[in-house]
Amino acid sequence: MLNKLWLFICIVSTASCQFQADKKYADDLKGCLTDKDVKILNKATYLFEQKLKEHYENSDNNTNFYKYLNDLVRYKL
């Protein structure tokens, strides 16, 4: 449950930002995380966005996040 909550928080935070190419979302956390953790979180965010683009066949991240959250609630993933 905690993992789902963390994922939800990350997704909402990411979705609330305007689309920017190669946005490093975790860079704002550099004071809290190590450089290695920031790099891993940025890569994970990028890979997650790519998987959503493939799955929903849409290049708009905000739309994909919205659809993912709806699916998450609907199917109780």
Domain residue spans in the chain?
2-75
pLDDT tens string 16-69: 554 455 677 788 888 888 999 999 999 999 999 999 999 999 999 999 999 999
- Planar angle of CA 49, 54, 60, nearest 5 degrees: 55
Cα-to-chain-centroid distance, residue 65: 8
pLDDT at residue 18, rounded to an integer: 47
pLDDT at 3: 64
| Residues 64-76, mean pLDDT to the nearest whole number | 89
pLDDT digits (tens, 9 = 90+) for 1-18: 556 666 666 666 665 554
Greater pLDDT, 77 or 29: 29
Closest CA to 48 of 75, 2, 36, 6: 6
